[in-house]
């Protein structure tokens, strides 16, 4: 096993060709792209760089130090995924992506990161000396996060990265590095690990993390509900429906699929826009020739 893989090593220049230098350490030869060297290296001189094995299993060394290391975590963008192995993240090397094992990913594959999502990972080495990505755990996120104590955050819309999708809800890290939790009831759909989601602050937890919601504000949801009711009215032969603000909540839920509160806000919106009239029997579409 080559313990130098994934670390900074000092080597000796032993050979070169038109495009590469060749350096050695402990009897192993690494290739170094001349394109990244400004001043020519002399045979017998020392070169210090980051050692790795590329996608073609060739030993390489580079002056460019990746943000991800054994002793440091860095964000890596997902560039590929294989359901028999896991996902691959860009670790900043031109010919090497870092695999994150399926054993470390959510059991539900729908929650696996997609291409473009980002994961916070460090390096780990297996028994064969191969490099893998190790996901940051809760302790790491606690260490890098900032306590959320500002009450002015309430109702603010933030961007957040999913760090732990769970049965009861989803843990995230916001763009301001606050930890947050989205309860299942506040999710419109279950977000993926590594996904960037738009969230709204709805409260502050005792441990200085945020209660968050992915659901729209009430006034934002009105338009969607109102649009649905309006289109339903247009498809009715008499352009009317036997529901109003006095109707049974269960009947409204069964017909429209929304709560009575949502229904009342929606028809209020339509009424103010002069698109419907509200009668004792229900609601009636106002057609242009009736205005």
Sign, Cα dihedral of 200, 204, 210, 214: negative
**Total domains, the chain:** 4
- For residue 40, what are its two tokens? 């020519």
What is the per-residue pLDDT across 8-24, written as a single tens digit (0 to 9) for each? 999 999 999 999 999 99
Same domain, 270 and 257: yes
Average pLDDT score, the chain: 91
* Residue 223: pLDDT over 80: no
Give the pLDDT mean for 153-159: 89
pLDDT of residue 31: 97
- Which of 85, 117, 136 is where one domain is finished? 136
- Alpha-carbon gap, residue 24 to 13, rounded angstroms: 7
Same domain, 207 and 222: no
**DSSP, residue by residue, 173-230:** EETTS-EEEEEGGG-SSPPPTT-EEEEEEEEE-TTS-EEEE-SPPHHHHHHHHHHHHH
* Residue 6: pLDDT over 60: yes
Triad 264, 266, 271: Cα angle to 5°: 90
- Alpha-carbon gap, residue 217 to 219, rounded angstroms: 6
Same domain, 157 and 208: yes
Same domain, 45 and 108: no
Same domain, 222 and 286: yes
Same domain, 207 and 250: no
- Which of 86, 114, 136 is where one domain is finished? 136
- For residue 260, what are its two tokens? 């009575």
Query: Which residue stretches of the chain are H helix?
Result: 138-144, 218-235, 249-256, 260-272
Same domain, 250 and 235: yes
* Residue 217: pLDDT over 80: no
pLDDT of residue 222: 59
Same domain, 164 and 205: yes
Same domain, 99 and 58: no
pTM over 0.75: no
- Is 141 part of a structural domain of the chain? no
Same domain, 206 and 163: yes
What is the per-residue pLDDT across 241-253, written as a single tens digit (0 to 9) for each? 999 989 999 999 9
- Is 1 part of a structural domain of the chain? no
- Sequence-separated (6 or more) residues with CB below 8 Å from residue 250: none
The pLDDT-based confidence of 1 (bands split at 50, 70, 90) is: confident
**DSSP, residue by residue, 221-273:** HHHHHHHHHHHHHHHSTTSEES--TTS-HHHHHHHHSS-HHHHHHHHHHHHHT
The CATH number of whichever domain residue 185 belongs to comes to: 2.40.50.140
- Is 48 part of a structural domain of the chain? yes
- Alpha-carbon gap, residue 198 to 195, rounded angstroms: 10
The CATH number of whichever domain residue 23 belongs to comes to: 2.40.50.330
Domain hosting 259: range is: 218-290
pLDDT of residue 151: 77
- Alpha-carbon gap, residue 142 to 125, rounded angstroms: 24
Same domain, 204 and 168: yes
Greater confidence (94 vs 113) lies with: 113
Same domain, 224 and 275: yes
- Is 241 part of a structural domain of the chain? yes
Q: Are 12 and 25 in contact (CB under 8 A)?
A: yes
């Amino acid at each position: 096993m080559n313990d130098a893989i994934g670390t900074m090593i000092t080597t000796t220049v032993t050979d070169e060709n038109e495009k590469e230098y060749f350096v050695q350490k402990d009897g192993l030869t690494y290739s170094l792209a001349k394109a990244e060297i400004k001043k020519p290296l002399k045979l017998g001189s020392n070169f210090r760089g980051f050692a790795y094995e590329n996608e073609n299993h060739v030993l390489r060394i580079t002056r460019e130090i990746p943000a991800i290391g054994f002793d440091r975590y860095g964000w890596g963008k997902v560039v590929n995924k294989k359901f028999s192995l896991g996902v691959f993240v860009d670790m900043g090397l031109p010919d090497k992506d870092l695999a994150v094992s399926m054993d470390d990913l959510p059991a539900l594959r729908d929650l696996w990161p997609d291409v473009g999502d980002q994961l916070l990972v460090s390096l780990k080495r297996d028994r064969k000396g191969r490099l893998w990505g190790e996901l940051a755990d809760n302790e790491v996120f606690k260490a890098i996060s900032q306590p959320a104590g500002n009450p002015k955050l309430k109702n603010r819309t933030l961007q957040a990265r999913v760090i732990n999708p769970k049965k009861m809800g989803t843990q995230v890290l916001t763009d301001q590095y606050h930890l947050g939790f989205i309860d299942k009831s506040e999710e419109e759909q279950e977000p993926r690990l590594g996904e960037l989601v738009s969230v709204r602050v709805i409260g502050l937890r005792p441990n200085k993390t945020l209660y968050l919601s992915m659901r729209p504000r009430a006034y934002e949801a009105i338009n969607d509900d109102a649009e649905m009711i309006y289109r339903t009215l247009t498809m009715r032969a008499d352009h009317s429906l036997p529901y109003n603000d006095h109707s049974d909540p269960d009947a409204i839920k069964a017909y429209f699929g929304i709560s009575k509160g949502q229904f009342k806000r929606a028809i209020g919106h339509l009424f103010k826009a002069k698109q419907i009239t509200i009668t004792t029997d229900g609601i009636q579409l106002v057609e242009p020739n009736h205005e």
